[in-house]
Structure 1
Amino acid sequence: MGFRLLFFIVVLLLVELYAFQAFKTIVKDRWFMVAYGVLSLAVLIYIVYGFFSFDRSVGQTRGMMFTMGLMLVVYVPKIVLTIVLLGEDIFRIGASLVNYFMYNTPRKEMMPERRKFISQIGLGLAAIPFLSLIYGVTIGKYNFKVIKQRIFFPDLPDAFDGFTITQISDVHSGSFDNPDKISYAIDLINEQNSDMILFTGDIVNTHATEMHPWIETFNRIKKHEYGKYSVLGNHDYGEYVTWPSQTEKNQNFQDIKDLYGRIGFNLLLNEYRFVEKDGQKIALVGVENWGKNFKQAGDLNKASEGLQVEDFKILMSHDPSHWDIEVKEHEKNFHLTFSGHTHGMQFGIEIPGYFKWSLAQYVYAQWAGLYEHLGRYIYVNRGFGFHAYPGRVGIMPEITVIELKKGEKLA
C-alpha cells in the first residue's frame, strides 16, 4: 500500500506541476496563481484521503463516487494538458541539445522558453474533457435513451413475428440520487408497451438495502402480457466488500434475489421457461452470472437441459464475454442473447448508425449494441444506472426495445 500511495501521489504531483506551468505561462497575476495552487493542493489532499480511506467492509458509497468523479473532472483535463506540455518539453530539450553542440550556445541561453500559444492550445484541449465530464455528472447520467432494434430469424415461430421485448440492465440502485429522473425512466419503460420485459442483472452495487428506497418506484413497471424476467449480475453476489461473516454475506445474497421478486420480476437461476403464444412457444433461458474476469456461477448446460436444438431460444446472461466464449457456438443454438455489464465504460463517442468508440471495446469484443455470429445474435445493453464514475459521457443510459421478425433480413 505504501508504494502504491507514493506512486499515486508522485504521478498527481507531476501532472499538477505541468498544469501550474501552463497557467503560469498565460496568467501573470500572482494572487490568482497562489489561489490556484492552494485550491489544487486541497483537491489533491481530498482525493488521496478519499481513496486510501476506502472501507472494504462498506463498499462503494456516494462519497466515494463523488471522489471518483472529482478526480476525473480535475485530472483527466490536466493529464491532457500535461501530454501537450510534455511534448513541448521534448522539443525544447532537443532544441537545447542542438543549440549547445552545433552552435555553442551558452548554457543559460540554450533552452528555448516555454511558448505561450502551446499552453493556450493545451488548455483549449483540456477544456473538452473538463466540460464533457461536468456534463456527464450533471445531465448525462440520467439522459435516458430508448434504442429500438429489429432482428430477423428464419426459424422464428410465426406467432412471435412482431413480438417485442424491452430490456433494462445494470440498475445499480445504490448510485441513484434523483427520484424524479428514475420515475421518468420508469415511465419511458411503460410507454414502450412491449410484450415482455427482461432485466439482465446488477440491481444493486453491493447491499440489498440499496434498493429499498426504490422498490415502490420500480413496482410501477407495469405487468407485461408475456412476463417480467430477470437474471443476476456480478454485483448481485456481494463479492466486492469484506463481510463480517459468511452468514451475513449469504443473507445479503438471498435478500438481493428476493428483491427481483419484490419488484415483480421472475428470477431465472440456471433454468428456462417456455413462453407460449397462439399455440406456439419459444424458450427463455436465464443463467447466473458468468464472466471471463468475474464470478462464473452460470451453468448453460444445466439451464438448457431438456431443450432441443430446433427450439427457438432467447438467453439472458449478464456478461457478454459469456456469449463470446461459450454461447455463440454452443451446440444447442441460442438464437438471441441479452447482456449488459459493460456500461460502455460510461464514456465514449457514439454517432448512431455510423460510429461508436469506448475504452470498453479494448476489454470486451461485444460491448454495446447488436452483434451477430453465424446467424446468432447478442444485444449488449449500455446500462440503466451508473457505477464508480457518477456520470455518463457519450454512452447514455439505455432502455432497449427488440422486435423479433420472421424471415431473412433485407439487404
Structure 2
Amino acid sequence: MYLRSEPRYPPAAEDGDDILLDQVQRASFRYFWEGSHPESGLARDRSGRTADPRNDLVAIGGSGFAFIAILVAVERRWITRDEAKARIGKMLSALERTKRYNGVFPHFINGTDGSTVPFTKLDDGGDLVETSLLFQGLICVRQYFASNDRGEASIRDRINRLWHAVQWNSHIKNTEKVLYWHHSPKFGWARNVPIHGWNEALVTYVLAAASPSYGIDAEIYHEGFAANGAFINGRSYYGVKLPLGPDYGGPLFFAHYSFCGIDPRGLADRYADYWQQNCSHARINYLHSLHNPHGYTGYGSDCWGLTSSHGPRGYVVSSPGLDFGLIAPTAALSSLPYLPEESMRALRRFLALPHGKITGRFGLVDAFSLTSNWFARTYLAIDQGPVVAMIENHRSGLLWKLFMSAPEIRDALRKLGFTSPHLTRETEPNSR
C-alpha cells in the first residue's frame, strides 16, 4: 500500500491546523481501508479501538462513506489511483451479489455472501435512506473516475447499472405522497416509518427525484419530506434562529450525512437557505455545550458536539434536547465547514485528553463522557465517514464538486425547486 511517510498518530495538539486535519482525516480513512471487511472491502458497521470484530456485519450506508473516503485518500496521495480502483472494483463486486429489494439495499448485509442481516425483526428488506447514503458515495466515484481508461469506464458502467436498478418509487405506500424508509418482503410496510420532517434524508429525496428510470415527482418532496412547510421552525435557541427542524436542531448528523455530497453553500428552496440552516444548527449545538444547562463535566467552548454515537449503555442519539453528557468527536469535526474556529478548538482539546483513552488505531474514539470518565472502545462507520468527507469539503470542496457535477443531480435539484450556484455555472472538470 501507498500510505508512505506515515506520520505519527496522535498528532500533538500544538501542531498547525493543516497537519492536524491531515492526520485526523488519514486516521479515520484507515477505518475504511485497513479496517474494511476482508472479503468484500465494504465498511464494517463498527470496529474496536484495537481489533476488528469477529463477525461479517457490513453497513450499506457506512459503505457509501467508504467510497467517499477512498476518493479523498487518492487526492491526498495516501493511496494510489490504481490501488483505489482495485479496491472499488472489489467493493462493487460485493454490491452486485448483494440481495436487493426492487434494487434497494438493506441496512446490513453479511460481507461474505451479500445476504441480508435484519436490522430489526420487521426491518429485513430494503432501507431507502441507507441506500441513498451508498449512492451518494457511488455517484461521487462515478464522477471522479471520468477518463477514457478501460478500468475507469468499467467502474462507471457498473455503478450506473446499480444506480439505474433502484426503484425509488417502490417505497411509496399506496397513493401516499411520501417516501417510506423501509419495506420488507415478509412484513410489508409494518415498520411504518415515513421519511418526513427535517432529518438526515434530504439526499434520499434528491436521489429519488434524480433516478433516470424510477424517479419521483416533485410533489412527493414537497408534500412528503417538507410536509408543505410543516418542518419549518423559525424560532431562536441561545439567540440563534433555526430555519428548519426540531427544537434546538436535533442531532448534528442532520447537518452532515446528506451534505457530504450536497453542497449547502448557496443552496435554497422555498423553505430555507441550507447553508444558514446548517450553520445555525451547528452553532446552537455548540452554544448548548457552552451554556451547559445540565452541568456536565468538561462541556465548554473547546468540548462540544452532540450526535449519534456509542454510549456507556449502547447506541444513543444525543442532541441539546436529549443530552446524556456524551461528546462525540465526529459532531464537532464534521462541522468544520460551518464553525471552523470552534471545530479546531474542539479538536485540539480532544487531542489533549489522555491518549490511551481518546485515541486508537483509527484516530479519535467514537465518544466519551468526562462526567462518568467513560471513553468508547469502538468506532462507527457512520461517524468516521463524515469526518473524512466534511473536513475535505472544508479544505477543498472535492466531494461537493463531484456530487453536484452529476447531471441527474442538477436536474433533480431544479425539479424540486432548488437554486444553487452549481445550477448556473458550467460543469466543473472532474478531479484527477
Do both proteins adopt the same fold according to a TM-score greater than 0.5, normalized to the shorter chain? no
Q: Which category describes the TM-score, using the shorter chain as reference length?
A: under 0.3
Higher relative contact order (CA 8 A, sep 6+): 1
Larger strand share, 1 or 2: 1
TM-score, normalised relative to structure 1: 0.26
